[in-house]
Amino acid sequence: MAAHLPCSSPSCIAQRLAHLLCAARKAVRGLFAGRVSMTRFVAHQVIVFVALLLVAIQLVTLLALNWAVSENARESVRKEVDIGRRIFVRVMEDRTQQLTTAASVLASDFGLRQALMSSDHATIVSALNNHGARIGAAKMMLIGLDRRVIGETTAQGSVAERQLFPFPHLVADAERRGAASTIALIGDVPFQLVVVPVLAPVPVAWVMVAFSVDNKLAQDLGLLTGLDVSFATWARERGWSVAATTLPSQASSALLEALGRPAGTAAPPIAPDLLGAEFLLSGSVLGREADAAVVAVLQRSLRDAIARFDGLRVVLIALAAFSLCATVAGSLLIARSISRPVSALAEFARRMERGEYDQGPPATRSDELGELAASFNRMRLAIAAREQQIKSMALQDALTGLPNRALFNERLQQAIGLARRLGQPVSVLLIDLNRFKEVNDTLGHHVGDRLLCEVAERLRTVLVRASDTPARLGGDEFAVLLPTASEAMAEATARRILQAFEAPVVVEGRQLDVGGSIGIATFPEHGDDPVVLMSRADAAMYVAKRKRMGCAVYDVGFDAEAINQGRLSLTGELRQAVEENQFVLYYQPRLDLAGEAITGVEALVRWQHPVRGFVPPDQFIPFAEQTGSIREITQWVTDRAFEQCARWRSAGLAIDVSINLSARDLLGRELPQRFGELLARHGAAPQWFLLEITESAIVDDPVRALETVTRLHEMGFRMSIDDFGTGYSSLSQLKRLPVAELKIDKSFVMDMASDPDDMTIVRSVIDLAHNMGLSVVAEGVETEEVRGLLYKMGCDYLQGYHICKPLPAESLEPWLAGAGVQRSMTTKET
């Protein structure tokens, strides 16, 4: 089941508060009804009931506390064992490093190397004995390159009788890493072995130093880790034995018994629950041979950890006994004193539950019940005030005091119903403040709130008729309802509002310019129901903002309805088209003139409507931009284009993809984040894509457009100005944008061979772009003659039917593989 998000609108908040108040009334009534029933018990019944209840609660509390103490102790011991294990590992690593350093000192001894070169066995053994005594080594050996022992501190034979080194793999590890260390058994006794090379300057022998793993080491590690440390050994012939430990003899025997497994079997793993409920432990295998192993066991007593809480249990039991006695002693007094006041308060609670707030609770004594009665009286007044506040919140904007969206829609519905009966007009104004988000982001929300309040006050000043309704719909969006106002009257009111906005607003010593864009729609000319009327006022407001007209009256040319009267349903159909994958993505190749190769394609959306059939892009794209549906379409196109480009790249086809962005897309600050999520989803790189933006998208809101384009550029996307030459952008804006290329509109390219003016424009754009360090794409190339002219002018890329018409991905791939670039230069695709 889908999770439901809490509603934050004023009406929803009001409904929730109303439910809470109703629940509060019922709770108060239930509380006092229960108290009145309780007073009917005789004194001894009250005492027995309270005593039994208290005993039950205390018993449950003690059981819960005992469980919590046990779990807390277990968790505490678990953490202590984990921390101790990490300390143990670090100490053993440091010890290994120290022992390796000590062994390296002997390996670098000049006298040892001289004795080794001269095969002076006596000097070798003397050097080993002397150095071993200095560093506290138990055994020392000198191993030759043939893995045989040249000399050792306990040697009994001559050099000629030397034996093979029993741990050849340790020498092999030292050869790979420069030094090696392990813990192994020598004669059923564990030692830490360190092997380092004797260099002259290449390895000529190996020095092995053995250090005892004994009770002193275990005690030192126990002090550092705060745990009991044991070193256990295992041999196939004899099974387990404890070589060194900090445990007392009895606990050591228990550990050995828990570890025990018959001789001749494999060494068992060390499980955390090896010793049952009394201990927690962590086992580490320090060394393992074919028939022997040495393990370290770190353990902590659970019983000792839990024993720390025994004093707390005693205190709690004593407190429980004391509270039980005190409760029994005071129950009779309480039962005798509360019956009448509680009954009076219960009656008052029933009146509150019925919504009767006129009369307060009865006067009581100046004790706790008197304070309770006073609190209920304050609650009565607060509930009455909140109910009044709820009514206001449901219909009024909390910040500006203007009617909110709910009240505005209600009055608009009433005004249209009355106007329909009387044959009168109704006009609505939809107002959107300019640059309000910049004020919020730059100066803070408190300044933005002050600005909204000033806008609301100026609206009240302009609207002099009592029937006119100004409202705040949300954010920086306001609306004005003008009953019985014609289109001309509404436009005059809009002009007065804009004039009122001309004076700057002073907030905290700063002068803020208040500008707005107003869309006007009138019943019945522009719509016969509130939804249509507000939608068309929104379309007019968007046109006013885009063209910087201040205000605009809705016109059928503002959306696709001028072509087909049934296009009002396109908004819902466009969303449905995205959800049901009615769109198809086509790709038109673009030719790199320098390399005579296809290096990229432009993604073009097509709509195959299930009822209307093929809907041309020039019919639904402008409508989608006006209604805001273009954002969903762009997201669908981007998702499919990223997926397709990643598939091509995985197949070894290095094709870049161009994607068109509209003005609505650039005004959405979430666009870079959405693109980042799509890149991660499809495993695509931003360098594979070229984002095409129109000049009009820059003109609408240069600050916001520059911010979005800059963020996309920083992510790694390349940017292109589409249809260059048809808009009104200035070079000062263009040079600030991180664009990589200009795309000449096809209206200048298609007839340039026969129109000198078009040729001059194209040549000028190419020279301008190259001087600015930008590449140039000419779209609409349909003849070989135009292609030749563009080649001579130095144009970088060509796109058009002379190269290839837009194709779906499944048709484009054979075209690229079969016909190739050569065919696209000589044959016009149809």
- Of 268, 241, 261, 263, nearest to 252 by C-alpha is 241
**Other Cβ atoms within 10 Å of 564 Cβ, number:** 11
Q: What is the mean pLDDT of residues 476-480?
A: 93
Q: What is the pLDDT of residue 157?
A: 41
The pLDDT confidence band at residue 554, using thresholds 50, 70 and 90, is very high
Alpha carbons within 13 angstroms on the beta-carbon side of residue 316 total: 17
d(CA 148, CA 186): 16
Under a CB-based contact definition with an 8 Å cutoff, are residues 360 and 54 in contact? Answer: no
Phi, psi (degrees; rounded to nearest 5) at 405: -60, -40
DSSP 502: S
Q: What is the pLDDT of residue 308?
A: 66
Number of H helices, E strands in the chain: 29, 26
- Of the candidate ranges 50-59, 466-475, 519-528, 655-664, the one whose mean pLDDT is the lowest: 50-59
For residue 180, is it left (φ>0), alpha (ψ between -120 and 50) or beta?
beta
pLDDT tens, position by position, 47-83? 677 777 777 887 887 787 777 777 776 777 777 777 7
In terms of C-beta density within 10 A (0-12 exposed, 13-18 middle, 19 or more buried), how is residue 231 classed? buried
Q: What is the pLDDT of residue 10?
A: 44
**Other Cβ atoms within 10 Å of 157 Cβ, number:** 10
Whether 368 has a pLDDT exceeding 50, the answer reads yes
CA angle 553, 540, 724 (to 5 degrees): 120
Q: What is the mean pLDDT of residues 543-557?
A: 87
Whether 17 has a pLDDT exceeding 80, the answer reads no
- Of the candidate ranges 132-141, 176-185, 363-372, 586-595, the one whose mean pLDDT is the lowest: 363-372
- Of 504, 518, 414, nearest to 450 by C-alpha is 504
- Residue, of 100 and 421, whose pLDDT is higher: 421
Q: What is the pLDDT of residue 715?
A: 94
- Of the candidate ranges 212-216, 305-309, 719-723, 771-775, the one whose mean pLDDT is the lowest: 305-309
Beta pairing partners, 523: 426
Omega before residue 524 within 30° of 0, cis: yes
Q: What is the pLDDT of residue 260?
A: 63
pLDDT tens, position by position, 294-312? 887 877 776 666 666 667 7
Whether 809 has a pLDDT exceeding 80, the answer reads yes
The pLDDT confidence band at residue 156, using thresholds 50, 70 and 90, is very low
- Under 8 Å CB-to-CB from 693, ≥6 apart: which residues? 660, 661, 666, 705, 709, 719, 720, 721, 722
d(CA 419, CA 425): 6
Give the Å distances, CA to CA, from 733 to 511, 695, 719: 26, 10, 14
Q: DSSP alpha helices (H): ranges in 658-808?
A: 663-667, 671-682, 695-700, 702-715, 731-736, 746-749, 756-771, 784-793
Per domain, the residue ranges of the chain are 396-558, 569-826
Whether 129 has a pLDDT exceeding 50, the answer reads yes
Q: Where are the beta strands (DSSP E) in 524-665?
A: 551-553, 583-592, 597-609, 613-615, 656-661
Give the Å distances, CA to CA, from 150 to 131, 212, 301, 580, 790: 16, 22, 48, 82, 86
Kind and range of the H or E run holding 458: helix 445-462
Q: What is the pLDDT of residue 159?
A: 42
- Under 8 Å CB-to-CB from 37, ≥6 apart: which residues? none
Phi, psi (degrees; rounded to nearest 5) at 654: -85, 80
Give the Å distances, CA to CA, from 37 to 32, 33, 340, 632, 741: 9, 6, 12, 63, 85
Give the Å distances, CA to CA, from 403 to 207, 399, 411, 541: 91, 11, 10, 20
Under a CB-based contact definition with an 8 Å cutoff, are residues 114 and 136 in contact? Answer: no
d(CA 469, CA 490): 13
* CATH classification code of 569-826: 3.20.20.450
The pLDDT confidence band at residue 455, using thresholds 50, 70 and 90, is very high
Q: What is the pLDDT of residue 700?
A: 62
pLDDT tens, position by position, 795-804? 999 999 999 9
Q: What is the pLDDT of residue 827?
A: 33
Under a CB-based contact definition with an 8 Å cutoff, are residues 325 and 55 in contact? Answer: no
Whether 493 has a pLDDT exceeding 90, the answer reads yes
Whether 661 has a pLDDT exceeding 50, the answer reads yes
Tell me the whole-structure pTM to 2 decimals: 0.38
Q: What is the mean pLDDT of residues 151-158?
A: 62
Distance of CA 308 to the CA centre of its chain: 43
| Range among 215-229, 685-699, 714-728 rated most confident | 685-699
Q: Which amino acid is at 260?
A: G
In terms of C-beta density within 10 A (0-12 exposed, 13-18 middle, 19 or more buried), how is residue 360 classed? middle
- Residue, of 802 and 174, whose pLDDT is higher: 802
3-class secondary structure per residue, 125-149: HHHHHHHHHHHCCCEEEEECCCCEE
d(CA 751, CA 800): 13
Q: What is the mean pLDDT of residues 249-273?
A: 60
- Of 247, 336, 248, 352, nearest to 296 by C-alpha is 247
- Of 521, 538, 517, nearest to 529 by C-alpha is 521
The pLDDT confidence band at residue 428, using thresholds 50, 70 and 90, is very high
Cα-Cα-Cα-Cα dihedral sign, residues 791, 795, 797, 803: negative
CATH topology classification for 396-558: Alpha-Beta Plaits (3.30.70)
Whether 452 has a pLDDT exceeding 90, the answer reads yes
Q: What is the DSSP string of 166-182?
A: S-HHHHHHHHHHS-EEE
- Average pLDDT across the chain, whole number: 79
Q: What is the mean pLDDT of residues 763-774?
A: 92
The pLDDT confidence band at residue 349, using thresholds 50, 70 and 90, is confident
- Residue, of 507 and 4, whose pLDDT is higher: 507
Whether 434 has a pLDDT exceeding 70, the answer reads yes
Whether 619 has a pLDDT exceeding 80, the answer reads no
Q: At what angle do helices 702-715 and 671-682 cross, to 10 degrees?
A: 20
- Residue, of 407 and 133, whose pLDDT is higher: 407
Whether 828 has a pLDDT exceeding 50, the answer reads no
pLDDT tens, position by position, 39-48? 444 445 666 7
CA angle 72, 73, 77 (to 5 degrees): 115
Whether 608 has a pLDDT exceeding 90, the answer reads no
- Residue, of 155 and 429, whose pLDDT is higher: 429
Whether 463 has a pLDDT exceeding 80, the answer reads yes
Give the Å distances, CA to CA, from 592 to 262, 660, 807: 79, 20, 18
Whether 615 has a pLDDT exceeding 60, the answer reads yes
